[in-house]
A and B are shown apart, each in its own frame.
Chain A
Amino acid sequence: MDAQLLIPGVIFGLSIGAIFFLMAIGLSLCFGLMRIISLDQLLYYSIGAYLTYTVSLATGSVWLGMLAGVAVAGVASLVVERVVFLRIYERELTFSMITSFGILIGGIGVIKYFWGVVPRPVAIPTLTQVDIAGTEVPVYRLMVIGIAAVVYAGIWVFLNGTIIGKAIGAGIENVEHVEGLGINVSRLFTITFVIAGTLSGLAGGLHAPLIMVDPQMGLEVLAFVFMVVIIGGLGSIKGTLVSAFIVGQVVSLGSLVYAPLAQMAPFAIMLLILLIKPTGLYGSALLKR
Chain B
Amino acid sequence: MMNAWRWWWGILLAFSLLALARAVVPLPFVIEVLIFSIYTMGCNFLLGRVGFISFGQPAYLAAGAYGTAFYLFYFGTNPYIGILAGIVSGLAVAGIVGPLFVRLRSDYFALVNLALAVIMYYLMQKVLAGITRGDNGLWFLTRLSSTPVLDISRPGQFFIFALLVALAVWVLYKYLDDSIYGACCLATKINEDKLEFIGYSNYKVRLAAFLIANTTTALAGAMYAVYLGFVSPEITSPHRAPDPVVVTILGGTGTLYGPIVGAIAYTGMKDVISKMIGNWELFIGFLLVFIMLAGEKGIWGTLQPRLEKLLSARKARTAAGEVAEARR
Q: Chain A: residues with CB nearer than 8 A to chain B?
A: 31, 37, 84, 87-88, 93-95, 97-99, 101-110, 112-113, 216, 219, 222-223, 226-227, 229-230, 234, 260-261, 263-264, 267, 270-271, 274-275, 278-280, 288
Interface residues of B in 86-135 (CB under 8 A from A): 97, 100, 103-108, 110-112, 114-116, 118-119, 122-123, 126-127
B242: chain A residues at CB < 8 Å are 98, 101-102, 105
**B285 is contacted by which of A37, A102, A275 (Cβ under 8 Å)?**
A102
A274: chain B residues at CB < 8 Å are 100, 104, 108, 112
Q: Are B115's CB and A279's CB within 8 A? A: no
B2 at the interface (CB under 8 A from A): no
A104 to B238, CA, bound (A): 12
A-B interface contact total, Cβ < 8 Å = 137
| Smallest Cβ-Cβ distance to A100: which chain B residue | B289
13 examples of A-B residue contacts, CB within 8 angstroms: A94-B110, A97-B53, A99-B292, A101-B245, A101-B288, A102-B285, A103-B285, A106-B288, A108-B239, A109-B285, A112-B282, A222-B114, A279-B108
A95: chain B residues at CB < 8 Å are 292, 296
**B279 is contacted by which of A87, A109, A222 (Cβ under 8 Å)?**
A109
A179 to B116, CA, bound (A): 38
Q: Are B108's CB and A106's CB within 8 A? A: no
**A93 is contacted by which of B55, B106, B115, B126 (Cβ under 8 Å)?**
B106
A222 to B293, CA, bound (A): 24
B249 at the interface (CB under 8 A from A): yes
B283 at the interface (CB under 8 A from A): yes
A107: chain B residues at CB < 8 Å are 285
Q: Are B245's CB and A98's CB within 8 A? A: yes
B47: chain A residues at CB < 8 Å are 94
User: How far apart are B104's CB and chain A's nearest CB, in angstroms?
Assistant: 5
B119: chain A residues at CB < 8 Å are 223, 263-264, 267
Q: Are B292's CB and A230's CB within 8 A? A: no
Given contact pairs A102-B288, A222-B114, A227-B115, A87 touches B293 in the complex (Cβ within 8 A):
yes
Judged by DSSP, the binding face of A is: helix
Q: Are B288's CB and A105's CB within 8 A? A: yes
Q: Are B107's CB and A219's CB within 8 A? A: no
| Smallest Cβ-Cβ distance to A97: which chain B residue | B110
Q: Which of A84, A97, A229 has the most CB of B within 10 A?
A: A97
User: How far apart are B161's CB and chain A's nearest CB, in angstroms?
Assistant: 33
B287 at the interface (CB under 8 A from A): yes
Q: Are A37's CB and B112's CB within 8 A? A: no
Total contacting residues, chain B, CB less than 8 A:
44
A230: chain B residues at CB < 8 Å are 108, 111-112, 115
**Given A219-B239, A274-B100, 13 other A-B contacts at CB below 8 A?**
A87-B293, A88-B292, A97-B53, A98-B242, A98-B288, A102-B242, A109-B285, A112-B279, A226-B114, A234-B108, A260-B126, A263-B127, A271-B100
A37 to B106, CA, bound (A): 11
B284: chain A residues at CB < 8 Å are 102, 105-106
Given contact pairs A98-B242, A223-B118, A84 touches B281 in the complex (Cβ within 8 A):
no
B286 at the interface (CB under 8 A from A): yes
A216 to B240, CA, bound (A): 13
A229 to B293, CA, bound (A): 27
A222 to B118, CA, bound (A): 8
A278: chain B residues at CB < 8 Å are 103-105, 108
Given contact pairs A31-B107, A84-B293, A87-B293, A260 touches B127 in the complex (Cβ within 8 A):
yes
B296: chain A residues at CB < 8 Å are 95
A280 to B108, CA, bound (A): 9
User: How far apart are B198's CB and chain A's nearest CB, in angstroms?
Assistant: 21
A37: chain B residues at CB < 8 Å are 107, 110-111
User: How far apart are A19's CB and chain B's nearest CB, in angstroms?
Assistant: 17
| Smallest Cβ-Cβ distance to A260: which chain B residue | B127
A259 to B282, CA, bound (A): 34
User: How far apart are A253's CB and chain B's nearest CB, in angstroms?
Assistant: 18
| Smallest Cβ-Cβ distance to B281: which chain A residue | A109
A261 to B114, CA, bound (A): 19
B280: chain A residues at CB < 8 Å are 109
| Smallest Cβ-Cβ distance to B101: which chain A residue | A274
A95 to B53, CA, bound (A): 9
User: How far apart are A42's CB and chain B's nearest CB, in angstroms?
Assistant: 10
A267 to B180, CA, bound (A): 36
A31: chain B residues at CB < 8 Å are 107
A104 to B286, CA, bound (A): 9
6 nearest interchain CB pairs?
A: A106-B285, A109-B282, A102-B288, A105-B285, A223-B118, A109-B281
**A102 is contacted by which of B97, B115, B287 (Cβ under 8 Å)?**
B287
**B286 is contacted by which of A88, A102, A280, A288 (Cβ under 8 Å)?**
A102
Given contact pairs A37-B107, A278-B103, A278-B104, A219 touches B288 in the complex (Cβ within 8 A):
no
Q: Are A84's CB and B289's CB within 8 A? A: yes
Given contact pairs A88-B292, A98-B249, A288-B105, A261 touches B111 in the complex (Cβ within 8 A):
no
A243 to B126, CA, bound (A): 25
A165 to B239, CA, bound (A): 36
User: How far apart are A273's CB and chain B's nearest CB, in angstroms?
Assistant: 11
A110 to B246, CA, bound (A): 19
Q: Are B127's CB and A261's CB within 8 A? A: yes
A260 to B53, CA, bound (A): 30
